[in-house]
Amino acid sequence: MIAEIGLAALWLAAALAGLQLVAGALAVKRDNGALASLVRPAAIVQGLLCALSFGLLILLFVRTDLSVALVASNSHSEKPLIFKFSGAWGNHEGSMLLWITVMAVAGALIALVERRLPERTMLATLAAQAFVGIGFYAYILLASNPFERLNPAPAQGAGLNPQLQDIGLAYHPTTFYVGYVGLSVAFSFVVGALVTRQVTPDFARAMRPWALGAWMFLTLGITAGSYWAAYILGWGGWWFWDPVENGGLMPWLAATALLHSVSVLAARDALRTWTVMLGVLAFSMSMLGTFLVRSGILTSVHAFAVDPTRGSFILALLAIYIGGALALFVTRSSTVAEGERFTAISRESALAINNVALCAILAVVLFGTLYPLLTEALGFQVSVGPPYFNPVSAIFFLPMLLVLTVGPLLRWRRDSLTRIRTPILIVATTILVALAVAIFATDAGVLPVLGMAMAAAVAVASFMPLWGRSLRRVPLAVWGMAISHFGIAVGLFGMAADSAFEQERLVAAEVGDVIQDGPWTVRVVGVAPVAGSNWTGLEATLEAQYKGGGVSVVSPQKRSFWTPAQETSTSAMVTRWNGQLYTVLGGETDDGRWQLRLSWKPFVTWIWYGGILIAFGGLLALIGRVRSDLRRRAAREKGGARRAEVMA
């Protein structure tokens, strides 16, 4: 009965999305108050029904209801509770229901709290959100029903992919999806503004918190996914330019550019066309990422194997949404006013340059991701990897960082470089000193050396906007910008240092052997059998010392799961402030030795510290913007009340 209620709630939500679309569109076109009054309630109830449906799916997984096909194929009665819970979205159908739930709840929140836009623009925005939602409702209900029954029910479930049986499944997809799908809100705002010809600072101020929230969760999702890949896959890396990883990076790049653009429009009434274009582009990239994961055209640790029918369905949605949005942009772009002008030396100009650089990097990643697919369709295979992505992206990334160091110091509208010559001199000196230190400290390649130098410059420049100001009076949004930029510096230094200084040993060792890996001395204590709730395996016990200091015990494992049958390697790490020792247990050789991989990764943890700082800066900016908007609204309402009293 639970499955039937969940399915019924999903059908009702889809019907309300249809009502929301029709009522909203007609209300905008005919200025019909009766229809307009239906739109917000439809959005709110739709969000509640979707949340109910997804909650019931989680309940089915927790109870291991094997009469539901999705549970039977992705769960097992002996699986730990946390993996039963997170297994609800660790599959194709469940993750798509999570997608539509996030979208519906976001639409409900817009209907509940958003009061800054003109009512016609708000109605058009909610209608656009419903239009996007209807396609995904159709996809779930017609091609990916998560509540489909099995008759008869099997005696036991097939289990969850062992690589997904990790706590990372609880936090990576959820944070990533909130950001990924949150871009649909920005897209809906853009469509609503284009339809009603209201691409104004008020529109930007209304959209900015939603774009900022989506960007913040995207940042957390990518950071969490990078750390998850580093330890769960046994590969030891934090980024592999996997096509699906790229599918997550591209929306983030577009969202970063959108965030800067919408801030300029909100504050200075400039970059109107940029804001509209980037709103469409960001959602287009999230749709493209969805297609890459769900279509089955990729072989990836991230991709879900689905049938061609589902891939064709998503491709059709991709064409409808992106094609429709681009057509609307082309037909209405002439109605978007130019906005305020600014000179070449100004903060607006710096942000525009960064937008161009971000879009160029996005184009590089997009080409490198899709080119192998195009060549494969033509009958030959081409591999595109770090030798392409790293240097070509750096062509645009490094100049963007240079602009980033001075852009926040420039004034709006018009400025001169002579006014900020002292900060420019400090940044230039920092780059030269850091370059000299990096060159003498390592024989690494050009990109890691430049990366460390630019990281030092961005770190120094990130807090320059705070100099000479009373820190207590600095707005939270400015603090957020400074911390996010500092997070970029921290993460960039981690990437460059790991690439420059990593030391790795692949050995076949006996019990009692001592292995040296960089500053680490590792002794093999033993290898013994271990067992979990749904797996058995072998666990190595290693004693690791950093430069002769205290002993840390690490225990990498090699596991054999039986539901489903699969072998995995579970790494073990020792984390210090300046990096991680990464250990992986391999198989046993014919002469009784054990294969081990030891990697010393200096400052690799700074990559994830940087990601957290970037997201935290976004959170501070979000709180600051919301507080500012609430104060502005309260002052407006108070002023209106006073005028009413005077007139009375």
pLDDT (tens digit per residue) in 515-527 = 999 999 999 999 9
374-401 per-position pLDDT tens digit: 888 788 888 888 999 999 999 999 999 9
Helical packing angle, 605-647 and 476-501, nearest 10°: 170
Closest by CA position to 184, among listed 142, 256, 132, 221? 132
601 vs 311, which has greater pLDDT?
A: 601
State what percent of residues in the chain have pLDDT above 70. Answer: 94
110-144 per-position pLDDT tens digit: 999 888 889 999 999 999 999 999 999 999 999 88
Residue 362: per-residue pLDDT: 97
Helical packing angle, 168-196 and 308-332, nearest 10°: 40
429-443 per-position pLDDT tens digit: 999 999 999 998 888
DSSP H helical ranges for 63-162: 69-74, 81-86, 92-113, 119-143
399-418 per-position pLDDT tens digit: 999 999 999 999 999 999 99
**How much is the average pLDDT of 316-323?**
86
**How much is the average pLDDT of 496-514?**
93
Residue 301: per-residue pLDDT: 47
State what percent of residues in the chain have pLDDT above 90. Answer: 61
Whether the predicted pLDDT of 265 surpasses 90? yes
Whether the predicted pLDDT of 455 surpasses 70? yes
Whether the predicted pLDDT of 637 surpasses 80? no
Locate 197 and state its tokens. 């010809």
Residue 516: per-residue pLDDT: 95
Closest by CA position to 102, among listed 89, 120, 115? 89
The DSSP code for 162 is G
Distance in angstroms (rounded) separating the CA atoms of residues 522 and 572? 13
18 vs 78, which has greater pLDDT?
A: 18
65-69, 218-222, 264-268, 323-327, range with the lowest pLDDT = 323-327
235-239, 495-499, 543-547, range with the lowest pLDDT = 235-239
What 3 state SS string does 569-617 have?
Answer: EECEEEEECCEEEEEEEEEECCCCCEEEEEEEEECCHHHHHHHHHHHHH
User: Is 509:540 a contact under the CB 8 Å cutoff?
Assistant: no
What pTM was computed for the model?
0.92
Residue 645: per-residue pLDDT: 61
3-class DSSP assignment, residue 198: coil
Distance in angstroms (rounded) separating the CA atoms of residues 97 and 310? 14
Q: Per-residue confidence at 305, pLDDT binned at 50, 70, 90?
A: very low
Residue 486: per-residue pLDDT: 98
**How much is the average pLDDT of 591-598?**
92
Whether the predicted pLDDT of 250 surpasses 70? yes
